[in-house]
């Protein structure tokens, strides 16, 4: 039994998600990502249950594991009760722990998710926060969203929100002691360590790619990973 | 499948939904994009149905988008959720009601994992105690907010000012229901009607006078896909999924779409705008878009709430075709009245469809 398989087995999602796969391919048939990307969850499950160290290493460094949208449609349909989506989540966790994620274009995007969603969780108490959802990052939000952003204080009040206010309600200010509790949870459960590893490996990769990487999102590396699509991912 | 067969399957998946004393937790996405829906949920529960709904000011994100964006480890997500349960326990409640489907799925997944791996639950209890000094009970009843509206659909119907009926023709509106993937695809027994025939929204549509549209890609994901939308380079996946659904539903001529997920109504709304901008395609009747609603927005319209109190002005795809069909009284000039910067309907960027 290979070392990487042992590490995957430590993830409760891997243990829950993988029984003996008979390779029927129902997961691939139902998978929205398999319709769009060069992606076949059946093959992913086959590789990991084969326990071949070299093949799992290749998978952890590949684009493949980043194509899944985690909709979990595969879980509904698998006749053996497997959940390829959960296996993917375990593979992504291990890829980040080992620093292999920076070896693929899609994997490198983890820094962009960490510096938006990840950092908002700890700074605001929300996964998604209106102040950060700019048209520059989200042009698809359209002109109405631009109007919303320009009038958000009045509009949220008009709709009964509590934007940056005390007490309960829509987009209330999350109290500082609550944010401190969140940060402490991240500290004792490995959340901050995951963030640090994403930062550390990304910094090394940025140097290797000769791209500037400062704090925040206004730098060459962030823009590169956020926008670059080499066009080789789809069918 | 024969209709009797479907009904039999639905009966197997009827879940228990508490009827009062709810501990309510908000959705990150909905607070930003559909604030009026959460306000409307509380208005219906508290003011119309006279239910006890408690919101703790110190609850936070469940970290679900970060968890499914794979930057938040599973142990961390579990402990953040355990803290939410601790707030419920401290407040003296046992019926937990999340506004978000991603949260609902995460809570369901975590409670199931703890059931199968009690040592994981014990470790989370230790970590929560170490980090915050808090302890928790697992909710005795976990129901998504749409389950609650489903449960009281008949009470809402009894107070209805409007029905989902075309007031000119008397015909029922043709309504597409879109269920968030994490409502029941992971754990079918936790959703009303299961994963194959979820009834939570169909039940509302039928009760309020509409006709449910069945179409080939009815159960397909909207295309959020977490990282597939969060990163700009991946959004082709997201829009392609929504487009597949629109193409599939178009021949059935839907009047409207109703959803129960935070992301789905936003994507089904915004991607219609984007597809129109990219290729000039519109999927609704008479060259219009297909208006997309949350279940609270629809419940609010049925009860006669003002559309602009519901927040329908925040949609990119205009809601007015449905308002007109139902015969809802509204003030067009009040739509974008809020705020100091006005929204000019003559702006070339305005591509409301």
- Does one domain contain both A141 and A197? yes
Per CB-CB distance under 8 Å, the chain B contacts of A178 are 58, 60
pLDDT per residue, tens digit, chain B (353 aa), is 566 776 666 666 778 999 999 999 999 999 999 999 999 999 999 999 999 999 999 999 999 999 999 999 999 999 999 999 999 999 999 999 999 999 999 999 999 999 999 999 999 999 999 999 999 999 999 999 999 999 999 999 999 999 999 999 999 999 999 999 999 999 998 999 988 889 999 999 999 999 999 999 999 999 999 999 999 999 999 999 999 999 999 999 999 999 999 999 999 999 999 999 999 999 998 899 999 999 999 999 999 999 999 999 999 999 999 999 999 999 999 999 876 655 554 443 334 44
Domain that holds residue A122: 111-227
Residue with tokens 């994490």: B182
- Does one domain contain both A51 and A117? no
| Final residue in a domain of this structure, among A98, A129, A146 | A98
Per CB-CB distance under 8 Å, the chain A contacts of B79 are 185, 188-189
The pLDDT, as a whole number, for residue A161 is 97
Structural domain includes residue A103: no
Positions in chain A short of pLDDT 70:
1-2
Residues 6+ apart with CB under 8 A from A85: A17, A41, A68, A70, A71, A72, A74, A75
- Does one domain contain both A28 and A58? yes
Question: How high does pLDDT run on average in chain A?
Answer: 96
- pTM exceeds cut of 0.90: yes
- Does one domain contain both A125 and A213? yes
The pLDDT, as a whole number, for residue B207 is 98
Sequence ranges of chain B with CATH classification 3.40.50.11810: 153-331
Query: Is A170–B31 a contact, with Cβ atoms under 8 angstroms apart?
Result: yes
Q: Is the Cβ–Cβ distance between A83 and A16 less than 8 Å?
A: yes
Q: Does domain B12-145 match CATH 1.20.1290.10?
A: no
- Encode pLDDT of A120-164 as tens digits: 999 999 999 999 999 999 999 999 999 999 999 999 999 999 999
Of A151, A185, A234, the CB nearest to B132: A185
Question: Model ipTM?
Answer: 0.98
Residues 6+ apart with CB under 8 A from A70: A85, A88, A89, B68, B225, B226
Structural domain includes residue A232: no
- Does one domain contain both A215 and A125? yes
Structural domain includes residue A233: no
Query: Is A143–B351 a contact, with Cβ atoms under 8 angstroms apart?
Result: yes
The pLDDT, as a whole number, for residue B338 is 78
The pLDDT, as a whole number, for residue B346 is 41
d(CA B24, CA B142): 11
Q: The domain B153-331 is classified under which CATH number: 3.40.50.11810, 3.40.47.10, 3.40.50.150, 3.40.50.2300? A: 3.40.50.11810
What CATH number corresponds to the domain at position A64? 1.10.1060.10
Q: Which helix (H) or strand (E) holds B24?
A: strand B22-25
- Count: domains in chain A: 2
Structural domain includes residue A235: no
Min Cα separation A193/chain B (Å) = 10
Query: Is B35–A140 a contact, with Cβ atoms under 8 angstroms apart?
Result: no
């Amino acid at each position: 039994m290979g070392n990487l398989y042992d590490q995957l087995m430590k993830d409760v999602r891997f243990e829950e998600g993988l029984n003996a796969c008979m390779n029927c391919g129902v997961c691939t048939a139902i998978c929205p990502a398999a319709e769009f990307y060069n992606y076949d969850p059946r093959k992913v499950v086959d590789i990991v249950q084969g326990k071949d160290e070299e093949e799992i290493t290749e998978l952890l460094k590949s684009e493949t594991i980043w194509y899944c949208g985690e909709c979990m449609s595969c879980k509904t349909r698998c006749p053996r009760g497997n959940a390829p989506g959960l296996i993917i989540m375990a593979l992504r966790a291990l890829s980040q722990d080992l620093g292999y994620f920076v070896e693929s274009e899609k994997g490198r995007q983890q820094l962009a998710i960490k510096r938006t969603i990840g950092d908002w969780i700890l700074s605001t108490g929300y996964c998604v926060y209106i102040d950060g959802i700019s048209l520059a990052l989200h042009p698809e939000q359209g002109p109405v969203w631009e109007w919303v952003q320009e009038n958000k204080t009045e509009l949220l009040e008009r709709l009964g929100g509590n934007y940056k206010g005390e007490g309960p309600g829509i987009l209330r200010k999350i109290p500082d002691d609550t944010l401190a509790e969140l940060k402490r949870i991240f500290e004792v459960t490995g959340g901050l360590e995951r963030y640090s590893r994403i930062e550390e490996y990304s910094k090394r990769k940025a140097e290797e790619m000769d791209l500037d990487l400062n704090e925040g999102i206004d730098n060459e590396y962030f823009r590169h990973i956020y926008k670059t699509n080499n066009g080789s991912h789809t069918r | 499948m024969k209709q009797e067969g479907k009904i039999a399957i639905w009966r197997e998946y009827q879940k228990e939904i508490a009827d009062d004393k709810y501990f309510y937790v908000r959705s990150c996405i909905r607070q930003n994009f559909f604030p009026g829906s959460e306000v409307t949920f509380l208005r219906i529960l508290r003011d119309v149905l006279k239910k006890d709904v408690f919101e703790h000011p110190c609850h936070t994100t469940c970290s679900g988008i970060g968890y499914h964006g794979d930057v938040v480890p599973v142990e961390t997500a579990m402990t953040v959720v355990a803290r939410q349960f601790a707030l419920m326990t401290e407040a003296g409640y046992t019926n937990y009601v999340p506004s978000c489907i991603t949260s609902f799925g995460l809570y369901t997944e975590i409670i199931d994992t703890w059931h199968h791996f009690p040592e994981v639950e014990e470790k989370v209890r230790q970590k929560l105690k170490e980090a915050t000094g808090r302890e928790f009970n697992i909710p005795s009843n976990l129901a998504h907010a749409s389950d609650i509206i489903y449960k009281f659909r008949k009470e809402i119907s009894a107070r209805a000012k409007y029905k989902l009926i075309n007031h000119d023709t008397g015909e029922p509106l043709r309504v597409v229901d879109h269920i968030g993937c994490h409502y029941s695809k992971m754990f079918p027994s936790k959703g009303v009607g299961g994963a194959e025939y979820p009834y939570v929204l169909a039940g509302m549509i039928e009760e309020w006078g509409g006709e449910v549209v069945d179409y080939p890609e009815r159960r397909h994901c909207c295309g959020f896909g977490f990282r597939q939308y969060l990163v700009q380079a991946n959004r082709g996946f997201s829009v392609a999924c929504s487009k597949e659904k629109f193409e599939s539903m178009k021949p059935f001529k839907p009047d409207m779409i109703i959803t129960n997920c935070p992301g789905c109504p936003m994507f089904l709304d915004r991607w219609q705008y984007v597809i129109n901008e990219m290729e000039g395609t519109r999927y609704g009747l008479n060259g219009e878009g297909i208006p997309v609603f949350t279940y609270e927005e629809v419940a609010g319209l049925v009860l006669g709430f003002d559309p602009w109190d519901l927040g329908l002005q925040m949609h990119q795809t205009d809601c007015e075709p449905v308002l007109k069909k139902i015969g809802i009284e509204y003030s067009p000039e009040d739509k974008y009245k809020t705020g100091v910067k006005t929204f000019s309907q003559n702006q070339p960027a305005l591509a409301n469809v």
